Structure 1
Amino acid sequence: MRAGFIGDIVGRAGRKIVSENVKKMRDKFGLDFVIANCENASGGFGLSAQNAAELLECGIDAITGGNHSFDKKEIGSLMDSLPIIRPYNHFAGTAGKGVINLKRGEVSLSVINLMGHYAMPHTNNAFLEVQNALKECESQNVLIDFHAEATSEKNAIFGYLNGQVSAIFGTHTHVGTDDLQILNHTAYASDVGLSGAFDGVIGMDKEAPIKTFLTGFKHSFKVNERCRRIFQMIVFECEEGRCIDAFKVRVIDGIDEMQVQNALKFDK
């Protein structure tokens, strides 16, 4: 089983560059599944029904979320009918689900969405809840999207679940990290990084955040529309739940060659 995971898709720029590249990547790397975090896909905050349909149509099999999952209220009612999940460790009674099981022919993948605690909305303990989530997984191949602010928290959950799941990839900071690795047949990266505006500030126009830092007063963030764009995806391959290969691909406006970063492999 070979799958691709796309980090935070931010705004129109992100949707456009993802739609331009997903099918190419599926063909080039023989991907069975593509999963993407889309909680910032609509104007940088949340996911609309229209944009969800657009992203699923372009070749994404399942959508994960995070602290902005419910910014667009319409999405809650669609979570039962579309392959959209939200953090598993939300409180009981929250719309939607936190695990999705995907199958295509003889290959399968289970996806868990979790949200961290530091500087994030209050939720149940992700470290405790993940054990319940694992019981809902129908595939040996298990991917976790850990949507969290602190790299230390992401490192900790990697240490906790190392060897128990196929892959753990962080989202939320929008800044890709260079720690892609495979240890005990679990692939890990602290953050995949955004797909969207490469310039600006985490996918947003730089004017508002700079003013905020200069004045101490909050200014409204807007998605950077006129920008150089970036597409980022981690491809990982599993055999019977064990990750055997992983690499990250980046496509950046103005750079002709696709950038590839291979995972550090610590398994013999």
Structure 2
Amino acid sequence: TSVTNWFEDKRKFGGLIGAFPEEATRGSISNEKEREKRISVNTNRGLWARCDNCGNMLYVKYLKQNKNVCEERGYHLPMNSMERIELLIDRNTWIPMDENMTTKDVLDFSDEDSHQNRVAISQEKTGLTDAVQTGIGYLNGTLIALGAMDFHFMGGSMGSVVGEKITRLIEYATAKSLPLVLICASGGARMQEGTLSLMQMAKISSVLQIHQVRKKLLHISILTYPTTGGVTASFGMLGDIIIAESKAYTAFAGKRVIEQTSRQKIPEG
């Protein structure tokens, strides 16, 4: 298990000193509450992660070696866009595109918080300018165009920047005759941008039609947890090959929205 692996790791590199500073010399944890507290502290330091599916604590080092898949149940834990890129793209070959493109709050949208402030908070939290990273790089020696959405940025919502970056990526891939891989992780179109976000669905679909139908170039769509709304209704389902992670939540409208609209209980799955 992950816990066993972690203890074995500590023994290899000088024992448990530094693992649990106060108890390291005794080699044990005084009680269960104290043990949980230590695990919580180490989780915050990046040593542990909790599986969203089974609830088990997973040693991050071995979790990363296992490509963020829980060794107990085979559940795919969420990954951010950079982790996706590092997983797929050969080392030192990634060339990002349109990194500095940012959105403008043309609607001056505000509800509980302003759209502008939400974007700023997400930018600070993720280090990204918006909810997708695009670029080119080599995948096992083959040059590809890659777009990786990031659910940590406003739920991966697709606004004008996301739509424009993906559109430019597809146009570049078409011009250079490159295969295209799009990794979907999104709650759908960004409601704070209104029609500007909805039009991205048609814009992306139109350039994909040129890429796939006219130029006969490959588009692989990878569906992760979650892929919903406008992303599902556009490029998410337009791949020549569509790959879904195990237990990836894929839908147009989410379960909660359907239940609130229809006033009916929706079964699991």
- TM class, shorter-length: 0.3 to 0.5
The structure, 1 or 2, with the larger RCO (C-alpha pairs under 8 Å, 6+ apart) is 1
Higher normalized strand content (fraction of residues) = 1
* Higher helix proportion (structure 1 or 2): 2
Normalising by structure 2, report the TM-score. Answer: 0.32
Return the index of the structure with the highest Cα Rg: 2
Q: With the length of structure 1 as denominator, give the TM-score of the two structures.
A: 0.32
